[in-house]
Amino acid sequence: MHREIGDYIIRDWQMEDAPALADHANNKNIWLNLRDVFPYPYGIHDAESFIVHVIAAKPATVFAIATQSEAIGSIGLVPGEDVHRYTAELGYWLAEPFWGKGITTQAVNCLTAYAIQDLKLHRVFAEPFTTNQASARVLEKAGFTCEGILRSSAFKDNKIRDQFIYSYIGKSIRA
């Protein structure tokens, strides 16, 4: 995929992105809002392993958020299986110097359209921690609906956390 979102791009990951990825991802403020599968500290080996994994995935579901010169974040989908086969979970992060510029909202809009139109999904959802109000605002601006709060649903940074559940519903699926 290669789609422009204002001055930024959603594109496939490349091995050349590893140094920028390691640099931007090695940030505790980012780690605090993500699943534990995202390591902290985040080093070059983590970046290289991640890129090798996402490049191999077919269809592509994880992409770089980038400037013209470097990757500055990531956005992706985890497709559901079995009875959830028309559903995917959305996840994303952006390098801290780029926060508050509307980039993530544009990226969420772009990837949601890809999920519904290209991957033929019906529902995209996200589960940000309730402490991450910025992510909740991003999802709301992108047309997602808050379905509720998953109480005591996660353990992060040695604390039990609540999570929002947001969803975007696309066109009807016909069997």
Chain centre distance of CA 90 = 5
- Predicted confidence at residue 1, as pLDDT, reads 87
User: For the chain, how big is the Rg over CA atoms in Å?
Assistant: 16
- Predicted confidence at residue 32, as pLDDT, reads 97
174, part of any domain: no
Domain of 107 in residue numbering reads as 2-126
144, part of any domain: no
Domain count within the chain: 1
- Predicted confidence at residue 141, as pLDDT, reads 97
- Predicted confidence at residue 171, as pLDDT, reads 73
Closest CA to 88 of 66, 57, 65: 57
CA distance 175 to 172: 10
158, part of any domain: no
pLDDT < 50 stretches in the chain: 175
42, part of any domain: yes
52, part of any domain: yes
81, part of any domain: yes
55, part of any domain: yes
pTM exceeding 0.75: yes
What is the tens place of the pLDDT at every residue in 74-83? 999 999 999 9
CATH of the domain at 79: 3.40.630.30
